[in-house]
């Protein structure tokens, strides 16, 4: 989890969000740019299917429907049954295959637009 300054309220909670989704973890208040957010630190959880990696998520007050303070064990059980990854792989386009060449090949391809000279023929 990122080490950032938090203030005020701190508790294990289940947070209900607009859009009918929920997140559980340790909740804090956090100020960024003069605005206050809640930060939910979802812990790592081990399940029968494997390890679920923890993450942090910040929410503005308009995104929150309800907050239910609870204990750590209840949050961990909730995460085990309702884990949502922090970012969906479908949020990103497929990356192109990397090209196999060095930075020097890129510099050799560079041409001076004004003089139309290759990089290695330009005057110093």
Q: Are 20 and 37 in contact (CB under 8 A)?
A: no
Residue 108 lies in a domain: no
Q: Which of 14, 43, 44, 12 is nearest to 28 (CA)?
A: 12
pLDDT surpassing 60 at residue 110:
no
Domain that holds residue 18: 7-87
Residue 64 lies in a domain: yes
Residue 24 lies in a domain: yes
Say if strands 35-42 and 117-118 run parallel, antiparallel, or are unpaired. Answer: unpaired
Report phi then psi at 54, rounded to 5: -75, 165
- Of the pLDDT bands very low, low, confident and very high (cuts 50, 70, 90), residue 92 is confident
Residue 13 lies in a domain: yes
pLDDT digits (tens, 9 = 90+) for 24-34: 999 999 999 99
Q: Whole-angstrom Cα distance, residue 116 to residue 110?
A: 10
- Domain count for the chain: 1
Return mean pLDDT, the chain: 82
pLDDT surpassing 90 at residue 41:
yes
Residue 113 lies in a domain: no
pLDDT digits (tens, 9 = 90+) for 72-81: 999 999 999 9
The pLDDT score that the predictor gives to residue 2 is 47
Residue 23 lies in a domain: yes
- Residues 66-70 have a mean pLDDT of 96
Report phi then psi at 52, rounded to 5: -105, 120
Residue 97 lies in a domain: no
Identify the CATH number of the domain in which residue 78 sits.
Answer: 2.30.30
Residue 49 lies in a domain: yes
In the chain, % of residues over pLDDT 90: 52
**Is the pTM higher than 0.85?**
no
pLDDT surpassing 80 at residue 91:
no
- Of the pLDDT bands very low, low, confident and very high (cuts 50, 70, 90), residue 116 is low
């Amino acid at each position: 989890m990122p080490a950032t300054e938090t203030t005020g309220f701190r508790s294990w909670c289940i947070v209900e969000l607009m859009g009918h989704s929920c997140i559980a973890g340790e909740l804090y208040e956090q100020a960024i740019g003069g605005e206050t957010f809640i930060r939910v630190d979802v812990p790592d959880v081990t399940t029968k299917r494997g390890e679920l990696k923890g993450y942090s998520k910040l929410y503005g007050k308009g995104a929150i429907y309800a907050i239910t303070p609870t204990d750590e064990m209840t949050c961990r059980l909730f995460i085990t049954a309702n884990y949502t990854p922090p970012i969906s792989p479908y949020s990103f386009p497929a990356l192109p295959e990397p090209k196999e060449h060095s930075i020097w090949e890129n510099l050799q391809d560079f041409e001076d637009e004004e003089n139309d000279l290759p990089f290695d023929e330009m005057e110093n």
